[in-house]
Amino acid sequence: MKKIINEIKRYKIGDYFENVSMSKYTSYRIGGIVKLMVYPNSVNKLIKLLEILKESKINHKVLGNGSNVIFSDNVYDGAIIKLDALNHLKIDDTVVNVGAGYSLMKLAYKVSRMGLSGLEFATGIPGSVGGAVYMNAGAYKSDMGYITSSIKVITPTLEVKELYNSDLDFHYRDSFLQHNPGCICIEANLVLKNANIKDIMTLIEDRKQKRLLTQPLEYPSAGSVFRNPANDFAGRLIEEAGLKGYSMGGALVSPKHANFIINYDRATANDVRNLILHVQEEVRKQHGVDLLIEQEFVNWE
């Protein structure tokens, strides 16, 4: 990594940190050591960083707010790239141009208070804009696919290209980006609608109160573990399988909401992964339903 760090300094790529624990950067508060974490200052610096990493054949991954990933307890022998500096925001009437590093929750509250409707669903999603587009994050029967008109990406050949909604193949918790990991989202154009501010904020507050009552927000988690099967709910299937409150090590199927797994007692990444796979297998055995895991496993053999 010494050579990479020298290049980062030489080209003034941005801040970097060595031997960082991923438990500080994931919402589960789990994960092993990553050899290098880099915060490029701009799109051009990001492109230069990618060039450096590819030339040296260094593993790398772009990470948003770490709210939908499960890093193993193993050392990640590579670089994690954080796009926090790509956080510009421009609002022109109902069109929002925003950097991939911008907080989705912060954006949702900001536009909602301006009387722009369409992002109310995101006020409870603690991800970045880029991560939300990648995952097609959503809630309350809405998602990023409904409001994203286009995005800019860095392609595997390190060119900046615009992709439109029709290119992005948005489906339930799925997008073009998940199947083309060499493309990195750097900004998004969102199209919202004008609406009554009081109505928007009342809806947001009602949903917030419901989340506080029904979701284990007091513990580290990564939100819903499994995608809901067609015309059903993963939480219902897990609860009926008798797994609500089931634990492995320090990981627990939430007694509040069965589709949440929480780090309730210093869980390791292995605890969380093993519990997820156990729940998946039990639901398959008892209900004949193969639940799809919504969260992403990183650095597992």
Residue 301 is a catalytic residue: no
How high is the mean pLDDT in each 10-residue block of the chain (301 residues)? 95 98 97 98 98 96 95 97 98 98 98 98 96 95 97 97 98 95 96 98 96 95 95 96 98 98 98 98 98 95 76
How many Cβ atoms from other residues are within 10 Å of residue 280's Cβ? 19
Which residue spans of the chain are classified as CATH 3.90.78.10?
Answer: 216-298
CA separation, residue 153 to residues 164, 165, 220 (Å)? 11, 13, 31
Report whether CATH 3.30.465.10 matches the domain 89-199. Answer: yes
What is the CATH architecture assignment of 2-82? 2-Layer Sandwich (3.30)
Catalytically annotated residue among 72, 117, 128, 224: 224
The whole-number pLDDT of residue 219 equals 97
Task: Please name the residue that has the structure tokens 């950097």.
Answer: 99
CB-CB contact of 130 with 186 (8 Å) = yes
Which pLDDT score, from 0 to 100, does residue 1 have? 87
List where CATH 3.30.43.10 sits in the chain.
2-82
* CB distance 242 to 259 below 8 Å: no
Task: Please tell me the predicted confidence (pLDDT) of residue 301.
Answer: 76
Cβ neighbours around 12 below 10 Å, total: 10
Q: Which of 112, 117, 120, 173 is catalytic?
A: 173
Q: Is 173 a catalytic residue?
A: yes
- Alpha carbon 54 to chain centroid, angstroms: 24
Domain covering 216-298 assigned CATH 3.30.70.1450 in the classification: no
